[in-house]
A and B are shown apart, each in its own frame.
Chain A
């Protein structure tokens, strides 16, 4: 399971997170792509977490 930390870079909030705020989420690839392209968010870091498949 991969979780990504994003930062809101747009002028308005994204999914309830205010501009400048960082948040962790599992966005779909398409949703992430759209938000990145319009400058709403940027990726801060991606964390691979141990999930059921890794056990």
Chain B
């Protein structure tokens, strides 16, 4: 796959396309690093992979009209809801091997839009995977 400049990414939250209201996305999948070290001559730690925490963090533009960012995210947070999220690199192309989509069911544990005088209104929202299926990459 060629290198790319991120321009056409697709961000969908609970079915609603928020791509044009987002300007950055970061996904994370981290296995807890469990220390199972015993005494050894080298003194090097020994680890096993433990539970996994997965998330997607999106930088959204603050937008407060019907069907936009606040109207979509605030009910998800306040209602403690689990909703589907999807991110793929090219919204103009179908999901495929060269345009995989990260999907999963998530919650929004924190919600904190804000503003600074004279600055573009943006804030980060971190969606955390909350069921056993987790966030997984799909090619179809």
Which residues of A pack against B, CB within 8 Å?
9-15, 30-31, 34-35, 37-40
Distance between Cα atoms of A1 and B72 in the complex (Å):
28
Shortest C-beta distance, A15 to chain B (Å), equals: 5
Closest chain A residue to B91, Cβ basis: A13
Report yes or no: B75 in contact with A14, Cβ–Cβ below 8 A.
no
Report yes or no: A12 in contact with B67, Cβ–Cβ below 8 A.
yes
Cβ of B71: which chain A residues have Cβ within 8 Å of it? 38-39
Report yes or no: B15 in contact with A38, Cβ–Cβ below 8 A.
no
**CB contacts between A and B, total, < 8 Å:** 49
Cβ of B15: which chain A residues have Cβ within 8 Å of it? 14-15, 31, 35, 40
Choose among A15, A30, A31, A40 the residue that contacts B67 (Cβ–Cβ < 8 A): A40
The B interface, classified by DSSP as helix, strand, loop or mixed, is mixed
Closest chain A residue to B63, Cβ basis: A11
Choose among B65, B75, B81, B83 the residue that contacts A11 (Cβ–Cβ < 8 A): B65
Cβ of A12: which chain B residues have Cβ within 8 Å of it? 16-21, 67-68
Choose among B16, B20, B68, B81 the residue that contacts A35 (Cβ–Cβ < 8 A): B16
CB-contacts of B81-117 with A (<8 A):
81, 83
